[in-house]
Chains A and B, each alone.
Chain A
Amino acid sequence: MAREFKPQIVTANDLLLGDVIYLTKAGNWSRRHEDAHVAVSADQAQTMLAHASARQDEIVGAYLAEVTLDDSGTPHPVHFREAFRTRGPSNYFHGKQAEV
């Protein structure tokens, strides 16, 4: 039986700065996880990933990450690794947590 699809977003690292970015609905890249466009089917996720991966001159290493949605439909990371990527390291106030 096919595995039940869980909502996913596309994330990558910015080519120039190396920081974490998310693919938005408008097809741009955002620094904020909550701006990420959520794929609700496997086909949509694959299409979004292909679209993102083609943008080599902006990003490095796009991949799909699972999310959960809250009542307002905002995505939240499932895995702790992705949660860390939304903020930055825990030893200093550096990375996303300092920028956003």
Chain B
Amino acid sequence: MYAYDEFDQAFVRERVRQFRGQVEKRLDGSLTEDEFKPLRLMNGLYLQLHAYMLRVAIPYGTLDSRKMRQLAMIAEKWDKGYGHFTTRQNIQFNWPKLKDVPDMLEALADVGMHAIQTSGNCVRNVTADHFAGAAADEIEDPRPTAELIRQWSTDHPEFQFLPRKFKIAITGAPNDRAVTKAHDIGIRMVRSEQGEPGYEIIVGGGLGRSPFIGKVLRDFLPRAHLLPYLEAILQVYNLSGRRDNKFKARIKILVHETGLEEIRDAVEATFERVLEEFEYPSDALISEIASHFEPPEFDNTQTLAFEEAQEADPLLRSFVETNVSQHKNPAYGIVTVSTKPVGGTPGDVTADQMRVIADLAERYGHDEIRISHEQNAVLPHVRKADIPAVHAALREAGLATANIGLVSDIIACPGMDYCALATARSIPIAQEIAERFHALKLEHEIGELKIKISGCINACGHHHVGHIGILGLDKAGVENYQVTLGGDATETMALGERAGPGFAAGELIPALERLVETYLDLRRDRSETFLAAYRRLGAAPFLAALYPEDERHAA
């Protein structure tokens, strides 16, 4: 795992010291809220509906037991004993008091964490495939590249006041688990025909009020050119991105309005210039960063104990089927820890549960933990022989829900239960869906089905790319839910199509039930997922299920 160097340490400490002074000045009245607000946002501190909220970055979703235990301590000491993992691999504390925040930041700095650039019009936390370094399908671990970008973008003087926030995601595997096509810049690690490592650069993706699928700007960029190329993109965006209208300020609008070819020409021309002056990291620095991400020493002995334990325990078998993914080492598995027990809040983990995850990572997982954009925790390297013990410990902590990829593994943003921008609640909808399908005992029968819920048009819950997307709206002072169908967050990304009029909260769950029953009736067999059936059959039968009273959809 990468550790902060002395420069990072000093920089973060200095920022905490500054912020402590700023908080004192706000409290003694020498700073007004208008003066203080940009300063607190620079330190990840928002004011939400019921309280302040501190957003902490987990760079590329990677942490270790020490960091996790510190998050648990912070949750207990200065919050209400839990934290909320978000779709951008951040953790949010929902109840801090203003005066405590400098101490919280100090505690984060103690373990090399911070809240810098988790807000504002700058390059935000760089996100990555949560199976990085472990996945069987991986070409290369994307984290050294993500770390390189983190170092380059943190406090980059030129990019602190971009037209809007800027999000970069990276994957090292062809199966895209990092939603790269819905980011301002998506990076896919590829190899040239000669086998040389490099990147495909995707630009202009994004969700929110105008969703766009990112477009390929460069299909092969040699590794050494990454930073100057990113610098060129950011320069073009910084100069040409629309600052006149907040809603049109993202790079996706620039790409859409200007056209990909013209943007490409501008980026390439800028790149030539940047390349001449840019002191991009030498191979030595890249190798030095990569050395911190060396795979752990794997124990390659395979035993039959794992198979035997599954034979004997159906709960374990079910857990392995849904929550354990293929590791590049056949003696290992990747264990995803669901934060979504039936009726729970997606992404919420208590301090005690954080400590259980930390203990398991230390004892069985080479001290590595990841947080996924799907708001789950991941133990990327668990020896198969240890999975039964890990499962038993997770069960005891209420963390063994076997639902990864299933109907109750819902992404849900905080919505109007916390978020000041929301137009409706998300969490109760996620809870009701999970409870309803649990009661029907259909979850495993349905198989892979991704439901994603946002509490407003900003789409933090990624509803556009849910197989079933749900957007909470305010319809004349009443919560209303708009359904989209057929979205896909992976390398075959698609934006969901709006189904029709929204549903009142009480109508939504029965409508979803009709929708899913229709799928079960129409699918070829169990291997045909909801998304595949939707693609084969088109929207009509599903719309007829959602709106049975509307004859236009009737078959």
Instruction: Spell out A's residues near B (CB within 8 Å).
Output: 13, 15-20, 56-57, 60-61, 78-81, 84-85, 88-92, 94-96
Contacts and interface: CB of A to CB of B under 8 A. Distances in A.
Contacts of A13: 47
Contacts, number: 72
B419 to A, nearest CB: 10
Interface in B390-405: none
A57 B98 CA distance: 13
Contact of B479 (A19, A80, A91, A95): A80
Contact of A60 (B33, B49, B80, B417): B33
Contacts of B66: none
Given A56-B33, A80-B478, A88 B50 contact: yes
Interface stretch (B155-163, B213-221, B425-433): B425-433
Interface of B: 26-27, 29, 32-33, 47-52, 80, 95-99, 345, 348, 416-418, 425, 427-428, 431, 474, 477-479
Contact of B32 (A19, A56, A78): A56
Contacts of B98: 15-18
A42 B95 CA distance: 34
| Minimum-distance CB pairs A-B, first 3 | A89-B417, A18-B52, A57-B29
B32 A20 contact: no
Contact of A89 (B47, B50, B96, B477): B50
Contact of A79 (B26, B32, B425, B477): B477
Nearest to A66: B477
Given A57-B29, A90-B425, A84 B49 contact: yes
B398 to A, nearest CB: 15
Contact of A90 (B27, B428, B478): B428
A80 B95 contact: no
Contacts of A90: 417, 425, 427-428
B344 to A, nearest CB: 8
B416 A91 contact: no
A30 B249 CA distance: 40
Contact of B29 (A56, A81, A84, A85): A56
B51 A18 contact: yes
A95 B418 CA distance: 10
Nearest to A85: B49
22 contacts: A15-B26, A15-B27, A15-B33, A15-B98, A16-B98, A17-B98, A18-B47, A18-B97, A19-B50, A56-B32, A56-B33, A57-B29, A78-B477, A84-B425, A90-B428, A91-B348, A91-B427, A91-B428, A91-B431, A94-B50, A95-B50, A95-B51
Contacts of A94: 50, 80, 95
Given A60-B33, A80-B478, A16 B99 contact: yes
B97 A16 contact: yes
Given A19-B50, A60-B47, 7 more contacts: A15-B27, A18-B47, A57-B27, A61-B47, A89-B417, A91-B427, A94-B50
Nearest to B417: A89
Contact of B416 (A19, A56, A78, A84): A84
A56 B50 CA distance: 18
A17 B79 CA distance: 12
A92 B50 CA distance: 13
Contacts of B27: 15-16, 57
Contact of A20 (B50, B52, B431): B50
A18 B51 CA distance: 4
A80 B477 contact: yes
Contacts of B474: 80-81
A84 B415 CA distance: 12
Contacts of A95: 50-51
Contacts of A18: 47-48, 50-52, 96-98
Contacts of B97: 16-18
B416 A61 contact: no
Contacts of B427: 89-91
Contacts of B345: 91-92
Contacts of B99: 16
Contacts of B96: 18
A16 B26 CA distance: 10
Contacts of A20: 49-50
Contacts of A96: 50
Contacts of B49: 20, 81, 84-85
A18 to B, nearest CB: 4
A85 B418 CA distance: 10
Contacts of B428: 90-91
